[in-house]
């Protein structure tokens, strides 16, 4: 498969097709569309929550929307973006069960999947260019969680989620 054209990925379709949900704020519409395109090129199913070009959306709204959908199991992974990736990433991380990695390099993206089992990737449109963003998304989507000793640590993160939600 492969969409063709310069810069397009020509990977074989991975055996596992994941359900991806994608959203941004108004500062990262083009980046979000590029992130979605990489996911489609890798053979995944993508739902794009917007916004449309010219439509203003506060990043906490779409960070939380993606976080809730992934945490609920309606999607396997989320891809989000704002100007820096930070605001929307922080917002997604407020949802229990979400481990959003705010990345601007491929190594961090890889390790966020391998060691942290990150389930949301946040990028900044004012931080990374198109080529680097594509590489980060490709790396993130093709790296699997290693489990093992890392599973216990991710379990501890889940305990933090549970503790934060505990009522007095
Ligand atoms: C919007 O101008 C900008 O603040 C937002 O996209 C993001 O960078 C916040 O973290």
Q: How confident is the model at residue 13 (pLDDT cuts 50, 70, 90)?
A: very low
Nearest residue by C-alpha to atom 10 in ligand 1? 87
CB under 8 A, 24+ apart: contacts of 148-154: 150/114, 150/115, 150/116, 150/117, 151/117, 153/115, 154/99, 154/116, 154/117
Catalytic residue status for 82: yes
Distance between CA atoms of 94 and 64, rounded to whole angstroms? Answer: 7
- Nearest Cα neighbor of 50 from 88, 15, 13, 102 is 88
- Asked if residue 42 has its Cβ within 6 Å of ligand 1, the reply is no
Nearest residue by C-alpha to atom 4 in ligand 1? 83
The tens digit of pLDDT for each residue in 116-154 reads: 999 999 999 999 999 999 999 999 999 999 999 999 999
- Asked if residue 157 has its Cβ within 6 Å of ligand 1, the reply is no
Distance between CA atoms of 38 and 55, rounded to whole angstroms? Answer: 23
Supply the pTM of this predicted model: 0.91
């Amino acid at each position: 498969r492969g969409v063709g054209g310069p810069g397009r990925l020509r990977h074989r379709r991975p055996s596992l097709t994941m359900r991806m949900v994608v959203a941004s704020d108004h500062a990262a519409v083009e980046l979000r569309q590029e992130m979605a395109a990489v996911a489609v090129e890798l053979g995944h199913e993508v739902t794009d929550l917007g916004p449309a070009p010219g439509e203003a959306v506060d990043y906490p709204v779409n960070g939380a929307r993606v976080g809730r959908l992934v945490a609920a199991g309606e999607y396997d992974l989320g891809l989000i973006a704002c100007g820096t990736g930070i605001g929307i990433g922080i917002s997604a991380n407020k949802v229990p069960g979400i481990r959003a990695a705010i990345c601007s390099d491929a190594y961090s993206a890889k390790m966020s999947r391998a060691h942290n089992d990150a389930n949301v990737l946040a990028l900044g449109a004012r931080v990374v260019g198109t080529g680097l963003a594509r590489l980060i998304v490709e790396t993130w989507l093709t790296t699997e969680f290693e489990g093992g000793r890392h599973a216990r640590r991710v379990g501890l993160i889940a305990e933090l989620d549970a503790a934060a939600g505990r009522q007095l």
